[in-house]
Every structure is written in structure tokens, then in C-alpha cells.
Amino acid sequence: MRIGVLADTHLPSLVRSLEELGPQVADSLRGVDIILHAGDVSAPSVLEWCQQFAPVLVAEGNNDLFHDSRMAKTQFLDVEGWRIGMAHELRPESRPVDVIAHAALHGERVDILIGGDTHVERLEYRDGMVLLNPGSPILPHHLSTRLGTIAVIEISAHRVDAEIVVLGHSEGRPNPCRRLDLSVTTEEFRMPVGGAN
């Protein structure tokens, strides 16, 4: 399964839709099976735009002051034997991931933990969990409106491949983000913390 992950679209703002930034977001979402949005959508029109590519699930952000059946405080998804959990805020992301997951997901155990809020991309495998923040496609690192990042996850029964996709540069406004990727197998997930003995 191929999953597109967004967060912190905050639209409409200086631009009314992601398309006004160029074709990069749409190009990155073509061919995904589902889109996970980690909150601060801000308006239902963003979800309708995303829905043209795939079904959408949203973890409600602090700026999501509307009701939508696709939105909840936390979202859980089981894919090919992997459990994904998503909440808007995971801060501070430097804490042990089990502490982050316990606070954000009320004790639910997951293999992949997704959050947003910071507008800063993060992708790492730590303490038996993948931690992913896709950053923002429109307000990266809380800078002015410009192209930023999204994430794409490929999941099979035995492997998770994830990538932070840097969407390019907006004219006169460089993208401050960096591409990140990782691959983790089921064997690595089962390995004791600290690696093999």
C-alpha cells in the first residue's frame, strides 16, 4: 500500500489551494491508496482537493474548527500487519517514542507514529517505532508561503519504506527542508532495543 502523508496545510491563507503553489503536491499524491493528514487542515476544501487522489483520514489539529466525518482527534490504521497511529501534536518529538505515543495516542501501541504541528520534517526509526512528521507543504519551518514537504510511505507485509519528499523551490523563496528516507523490515522491528546481541 502506498500512503501519502500531509500536515499543516493551513488553507486558505495567502493562497487558496495547494495547486496555486504548482503541480508538485498533486504529482506526489498521484497513485497513493490513501492520504493521511496530520492536522491543521483549516478548511474542508483541502480535504475535497485531496479526495480526488485517494480517501482521506485526518487527525484533528488545533486550527481545525469544523466537523468532518473523516476527522478525529486520533486515527488508527492497520495495513499489512503494521499499525499506524496519528495525532496532530507529538511535541516535543525528542522524547522517547513510547512516551510520545502514550501521550498522543492514550497508550495505544503502534509501529508507525505520525504527527504534525511543528512544520518541520522528521523521519526516524527509534526504540522500535517509526516516527514521522511530514512537515508542511506550504509553510515549511514556519517560513512564508512556499513549497515545503510531504511524506510517502510504502508498506508491504515485511517492510516499511518511507520518504520525506521535498517539493522543490518557489520562485524567490528557497525550500529549507531536506529529503529523508528510511527502510525498516519486520525483523528489525522484532529486534530488541539496542540491536542484536
From the list 139, 40, 54, 127, the residue with the least C-alpha distance to 86 is: 40
CATH number of the CATH domain containing 161: 3.60.21.10
Residues spanned by the domain of 37: 2-190
In a domain, 39, yes or no: yes
In a domain, 195, yes or no: no
pLDDT tens for the chain, 197 residues long, are 999 999 999 998 777 888 888 899 999 999 999 999 999 999 999 999 999 999 999 999 999 999 999 999 999 999 999 999 999 999 999 999 999 999 999 989 999 999 999 999 999 999 899 999 999 999 999 999 999 999 999 999 999 999 999 999 999 999 999 999 999 998 887 665 544 43
Structural domain tally of the chain? 1
pLDDT at position 189 is 79
pLDDT at position 196 is 40
Q: What is the rounded CA–CA span in Å between residue 25 and residue 147?
A: 9
Sign (positive or negative) of CA dihedral 27, 30, 33, 38 = positive
Q: Count of CB atoms within 10 A of residue 50's CB?
A: 25
From the list 35, 27, 30, 32, the residue with the least C-alpha distance to 9 is: 35
With residues binned 3-state (H G I as helix, E B as strand, rest as coil), the percentages for the chain, rounded to 5, are 20, 35, 50
pTM of the model: 0.94
In a domain, 114, yes or no: yes
pLDDT at position 191 is 61
In a domain, 196, yes or no: no
In a domain, 197, yes or no: no
